Amino acid sequence: MEIELRFELTAEEFRGYQQEWDWSPETRVRDLTLGPSGAASMQIDGWVVRVRQQGAQARLEYKAPRDAAWSAWLEYSTEVGDFRETVRILSATGLQAGLVLDRTRRTAQDGPVMLALDDVRGLGHFIEIAAESDAPDDPVARAAIATTQARLGLTGRPAARPYGELLLRRLQEPDFQTAHSELLAALIA
């Protein structure tokens, strides 16, 4: 299980964090969610299947929330051979393509905590602070996240909602909806 907090950053903050940590090289990460209710599957059905493409690798993941306030997620994941073929198989079972999350990501480790610095297409700049745990209310994992949050100067700052929720809100905007539809079509063509 992963517990995470995500914070929206200004462009200036984003550039500052890029200089402050020892980040991995930048990689492009594209996630496509699928579910019984398409884009709203997480909200309606309480789960999604996600196909993630990162470089030449593809992963199939199941994701369901465990604690919305702390973004605690039950996740199962396995490597798959081909992104598009995996999407075709899932679509053939009746799952509907939903949201596309397209971002560049850099990661860093802070003790037991993983940091991700994301530039998300259509949403902006974010930093995620995450820890693995066996329980959504694990005080040790939450304390480690809070320690890193303080080190980053983010104490007292409200956490951003999950990317899926932010994308759903943006899909209410006609221009964004068109751009998202084009990205989805290009990704699964």
For the chain, strand residue ranges (E) read 2-9, 27-35, 48-54, 57-67, 72-80, 96-110, 113-120, 124-132
Instruction: From 168, 71, 171, select the one nearest 128 (Cα to Cα).
Output: 71
H or E stretch at 8: strand 2-9
Residue count of the chain, please give it. Answer: 189
**pTM for the predicted model, two decimal places:** 0.92
Tens digits of residue pLDDT in 139-173? 999 999 999 999 999 999 999 999 999 999 999 99
> What phi and psi, each to the nearest 5 degrees, are found at residue 162?
-60, 150
Taking the C-alpha atoms of 47, 162, 123 and 13 in order, what is their torsion angle to the nearest 10 degrees?
-150
Tens digits of residue pLDDT in 17-67? 999 889 999 999 999 999 999 999 999 999 999 999 998 899 999 999 988
The whole-number pLDDT of residue 69 equals 72
The whole-number pLDDT of residue 135 equals 85
pLDDT at 189 over 90: no
The whole-number pLDDT of residue 81 equals 95
The whole-number pLDDT of residue 68 equals 72
Residue 34 burial class via C-beta count within 10 angstroms: exposed 0-12, middle 13-18, buried 19 and up: buried
Tens digits of residue pLDDT in 119-134? 999 999 999 999 999 8
